[in-house]
Amino acid sequence: MEKDYEKRNIEILDELKKDLDGVKTSNDLVLVKAKYLGKEGIVTLLSKKMKDIEPEKRGSIGKIINDIRTNVTTLIEEKDNYIKEELLKKKLNDEKIDITLPSKKLRRGSMHPFNRITEEIEDLFVSMGYDVLSGPELETDEYCFQRLNIPLGHPVRDTQDSFYVDVDHLLRTQTSSVQARCMEANVEKSPIRMICPGKTYRRDDDATHSHQFGQFEGLVIDKDVTLANLKGTLEVMAKTLLGEKTKVRFRPSFFPFTEPSVEVDVSCFKCGGKGCSLCKNTGWIELLGAGMVHPNVLRSNGYDPEKYKGFAFGTGIDRLAMMKYNIPDIRLMYTNDIRFLKQFDRKELK
């Protein structure tokens, strides 16, 4: 009787080996596994027959059937591992990377002319000991106008067509608001040396004006600041940003927050002062507004004008970039046209 079972063991294993030879995929293997170990499988049926065997033979025959089950399971597991390994090998082979192939070219971004100028300005003033500050773009009427000696109803408000959000709040029309905030925060501390580049807003929209544009403001407060200091500072700035040969000219002007006020022109850096289309044949280009901080402004922001003096200047960043890089329309600065931006990738623009 045991002999029959041992014979059966060999038969089953032979048949299984043949079946496994034909197995190519995990799905094939599932079918083979079911044929031997499934509910109606060959090995399962053998075990079920155990109950018909005389009790004294059950031990030895049970052991043979267990051996059969172990052998069958081992062979199937081996095949399973083999299939998985082959799959992995195939996958690795398919995904093989040839590191000797040339790579795809990565397109490098370029610096926006606006940021390029802003960084140049910041570098220059930081090297002269200035702090770089920022202030809120949504500003109160008080900081944007009143603290800068522009009371309600002052006519200069008309020249800075503003976006009001409610009666007291507007999108700031000038970075001069940061002058007031900075003085207030430092009351009677000196010196103050700061610049503040940032976004400003006015209701304008044409080739040279945008409703949103960049300005930067400069402010120095100390006990003995003079107009000559302002002149020297702006000369350094003009030469650094626009070239060593740049000449600077001061014209009397008016701003409510400075007294005296000046308009600062630079010699045309395109024609060198001879006259061309950029300078409209005058040889000069208007660069910025500036002046000595008005006593009323010092007073409204906590400084005693008898003890402290200051100078301030402010200009459009876009305007500077447009002049420097010969950009004809301010709207190009904000439309993110890749063809426009790409031009600033060139080294010679540095």
Minimum distance, C-beta of residue 219 to ligand PHE, in the bound complex (Å)? 8
Upper half-sphere CA count for residue 29 (Cβ side, 13 Å): 15
* Apex 236 CA angle, 233 and 291, nearest 5: 30
- Whether 134 and 196 have beta carbons less than 8 Å apart is answered as yes
Residue 313 is a binding residue for ligand PHE (CB under 6 A): yes
Question: With respect to ligand PHE, which residue has the nearer C-beta, 284 or 340?
Answer: 284
The owner of tokens 């000559």 is 228
Stretch of 28-36, 244-252, 306-314, 335-343 contacting ligand PHE, by CB under 6 A: 306-314
Question: With respect to ligand PHE, which residue has the nearer C-beta, 6 or 286?
Answer: 286
Minimum distance, C-beta of residue 174 to ligand PHE, in the bound complex (Å)? 4
The count of residues in the chain is 350
CB atoms within 10 A of CB 91: 10
Give Cα separations from 188 to 62, 142, 146, 175, 220 (angstroms).
102, 20, 20, 21, 13
Residues 181-240 that bind ligand PHE (CB under 6 A): 217
Stretch of 137-145, 187-195, 271-279, 286-294 contacting ligand PHE, by CB under 6 A: 286-294
Q: Which member of 197, 214, 256, 291 binds ligand PHE (CB under 6 A)?
A: 291
Residues 314-333 that bind ligand PHE (CB under 6 A): 314
The owner of tokens 């426009």 is 340
Minimum distance, C-beta of residue 109 to ligand PHE, in the bound complex (Å)? 31
Residue 290 is a binding residue for ligand PHE (CB under 6 A): yes
Nearest to 218 by CA among 314, 117, 318: 314
Distance of CA 228 to the CA centre of its chain: 40
- Phi and psi at 151, nearest 5°, equal -70, 170
How far apart, in whole angstroms, are the C-alpha atoms of residue 247 and residue 243? 9
Residue 174 is a binding residue for ligand PHE (CB under 6 A): yes
State the helix-helix crossing angle for 227-242 and 113-127, rounded to 10 degrees: 140
Question: With respect to ligand PHE, which residue has the nearer C-beta, 275 or 305?
Answer: 305
Minimum distance, C-beta of residue 275 to ligand PHE, in the bound complex (Å)? 26
Output the DSSP codes for 313-336.
Answer: EEEEHHHHHHHHHT-S-GGGGTS-
Q: Which member of 118, 233, 258, 267 binds ligand PHE (CB under 6 A)?
A: 258
Q: Which member of 76, 150, 285, 312 binds ligand PHE (CB under 6 A)?
A: 312
Stretch of 126-134, 161-169, 274-282, 309-317 contacting ligand PHE, by CB under 6 A: 309-317
Going by the DSSP 8-state scheme, the letter that residue 166 receives in this structure is S
Residue 176 is a binding residue for ligand PHE (CB under 6 A): yes
Question: With respect to ligand PHE, which residue has the nearer C-beta, 23 or 180?
Answer: 180
Q: By the criterion CB under 6 A, which residues form the site for ligand PHE?
A: 174, 176, 217, 255, 258, 289-291, 312-314
